[in-house]
Amino acid sequence: MNDPIVSSKLPSGKVDLSVQIDAELLEQISHLTNDPSKVIEVAVRQWLSGSRRDDEVTRTVYRNPPVPPKGEWND
């Protein structure tokens, strides 16, 4: 695996980092914000902390329970 290139430290305590990213992915991120580095930083922080969003987009859809075979209904 190639090590990322660290070019300089910024005054804010952050490090300027060079990474390669798929152009299509960058285009999708650019639709969200003008600062893709912030989106990537937040995503990495959430991934490292193990936090998950629990909303309608991320919930697993459970199917309706199966219908019992004929004769097993609670009539």
Given a cut of 80, is residue 71 above it in pLDDT?
no
Strand pairing partners for 8?
16
- The amino acid sitting at 65 is P
pLDDT in tens, 2-55: 555 666 666 678 888 888 889 999 888 888 888 888 888 888 888 888 866 666
Which of 19, 58, 57, 13 is closest to 36 using CA atoms? 19
| pLDDT for res 56 | 61
| pLDDT for res 31 | 85
Do 34 and 40 form a contact (C-beta atoms < 8 A)? Answer: no
Domain boundaries, the chain: 22-51
How far CA 65 is from CA of 33, 62, 68, 72, in Å, comes to 42, 9, 9, 14
